[in-house]
Amino acid sequence: MTLLDRTVESAPPSESFPELCRRVWNRPVAVTHSGKMQVCHLDCEAQELTQVWRWLIQELDFAFATLIVDEEPNGGRLLVYVFYRQASPWVQLEIQLGPEAATAPSVAGLIHGPSADWHEREVEDLCGIAFEGHPRLGEFILHEDWPEGVNPMRRSFDPRQPPVHREPDAKWRPARVVEAPGAFAMPIGPVFADFAESAHFLLETVGEDVIRTIPRLFYKYRGVEKIAEGEPVDRVLLLAERFSGTAAFAHGLGFCQAVEAICGIEVPPRARALRTLFAELERLRHHAAAITGICSSTALAVATSQAGLIEETLLRLTCEVVQHRYLFGAVKPGGVACDLTNEARDRLAAVVEGVAQELHELHDMLRYSSSFLDRLEEVGIVKTKDAVSYGLVGPIARASGVERDLRKLFPYAAYESVEFSVPVEQEGDGYARLRILFREAEQSVAIMRQILLAPPDGPICAGNFACQAGAALSAVEAPLGAAFYWLNIGDDGTVVRYRITPPSFTNWHGFHLAAENFAFQDFPIILASFGLSNAECDR
Residues 6+ apart with CB under 8 A from 410: 36, 37, 84, 90, 475
210 and 311 inside one domain: no
CB 507 within 8 A of CB 480: yes
pTM value is: 0.93
Residue 185 has pLDDT above 60, yes or no: yes
122 and 234 inside one domain: no
Q: Which amino acid is at 411?
A: P
Among the ranges given (178-182, 232-236, 360-364), the one the predictor scored with the smallest mean pLDDT: 178-182
Residue 484 has pLDDT above 60, yes or no: yes
| DSSP state for residue 345 in the 8-state scheme | H
Q: Which amino acid is at 206?
A: V
Pairing of strands 30-34, 37-43: antiparallel
User: Which of 58-73 are b and which e, b meaning 16 or more Cβ less than 10 Å from the residue's Cβ?
Assistant: eebebbbbbbbbbbee
CB 231 within 8 A of CB 494: yes
389 and 273 inside one domain: yes
- Single residue among 132, 149, 170 that ends a domain in this structure: 132
Residues of the chain with pLDDT > 70, as a percent, come to: 97
Residue 517 resides in a domain: yes
Residue 155 resides in a domain: no
Residue 156 resides in a domain: no
Question: Which of 26, 86, 21 has the alpha carbon at shortest distance from 55?
Answer: 21
The DSSP H or E segment spanning 276 is helix 269-297
Residue 291 resides in a domain: yes
pLDDT at 1: 43
pLDDT band at 3 (very low <50, low <70, confident <90, very high): low
pLDDT digits (tens, 9 = 90+) for 61-111: 899 999 999 888 888 899 999 999 988 899 999 999 888 878 899 998 887
| DSSP state for residue 167 in the 8-state scheme | P
195 and 252 inside one domain: no
| CA 514 to centroid of chain Cα atoms | 18
State the average pLDDT over residues 158-174: 77
Q: Residue 487's CB: how many other CB atoms inside 10 A?
A: 28
For the chain, the domain total comes to 3
Cα distances from 12 to residues 42, 60, 71, 87, 107, in angstroms, run 20, 12, 38, 14, 28
- To the nearest whole number, what is the mean pLDDT of the chain? 89
254 and 196 inside one domain: no
CATH of the domain at 289: 1.10.645.10
pLDDT band at 168 (very low <50, low <70, confident <90, very high): confident
pLDDT at 466: 84
pLDDT digits (tens, 9 = 90+) for 26-60: 877 888 887 778 898 988 888 889 989 998 998 88
Q: Which amino acid is at 207?
A: G
Among the ranges given (176-180, 200-204, 362-366, 373-377), the one the predictor scored with the smallest mean pLDDT: 176-180
Residue 331 resides in a domain: yes
Residue 11 has pLDDT above 70, yes or no: no
- Single residue among 94, 117, 132 that ends a domain in this structure: 132
pLDDT at 22: 82
pLDDT band at 7 (very low <50, low <70, confident <90, very high): very low
Strand order in the sheet with 212-216: 184-188, 200-205, 212-216
Cα dihedral value 528, 531, 535, 538, nearest 10: -80
Per DSSP, the residues of 354-411 read: HHHHHHHHHHHHHTT-HHHHHHHTTSS---HHHHHHTT--HHHHHTTT----HHHHS-
205 and 91 inside one domain: no
Residue 45 resides in a domain: yes
261 and 202 inside one domain: no
256 and 300 inside one domain: yes
Angle (CA) 273-440-354 rounded to 5° is: 75
196 and 290 inside one domain: no
Question: Which of 263, 255, 256 has the alpha carbon at shortest distance from 225?
Answer: 255
pLDDT at 14: 56
pLDDT at 465: 84
CB 114 within 8 A of CB 108: yes
pLDDT at 248: 95
99 and 192 inside one domain: no
CB 80 within 8 A of CB 488: no
| CA 308 to centroid of chain Cα atoms | 25
CATH of the domain at 30: 3.30.460.80
Among the ranges given (172-186, 351-365, 394-408, 419-433), the one the predictor scored with the smallest mean pLDDT: 172-186
CB 392 within 8 A of CB 424: no
pLDDT at 506: 94
Residue-number span of the structural domain to which 22 is assigned = 3-132
208 and 314 inside one domain: no
Residue 175 has pLDDT above 90, yes or no: no
Residue 12 resides in a domain: yes
- Single residue among 193, 216, 239 that ends a domain in this structure: 216
Question: Which of 411, 414, 390, 385 has the alpha carbon at shortest distance from 400?
Answer: 385
pLDDT digits (tens, 9 = 90+) for 242-286: 988 889 999 999 999 999 999 999 999 999 999 999 999 999 999
Question: Which of 508, 524, 308, 305 has the alpha carbon at shortest distance from 430?
Answer: 524
208 and 260 inside one domain: no
Residue 85 resides in a domain: yes
pLDDT at 160: 82
Among the ranges given (78-87, 130-139, 432-441), the one the predictor scored with the smallest mean pLDDT: 130-139
pLDDT at 265: 93
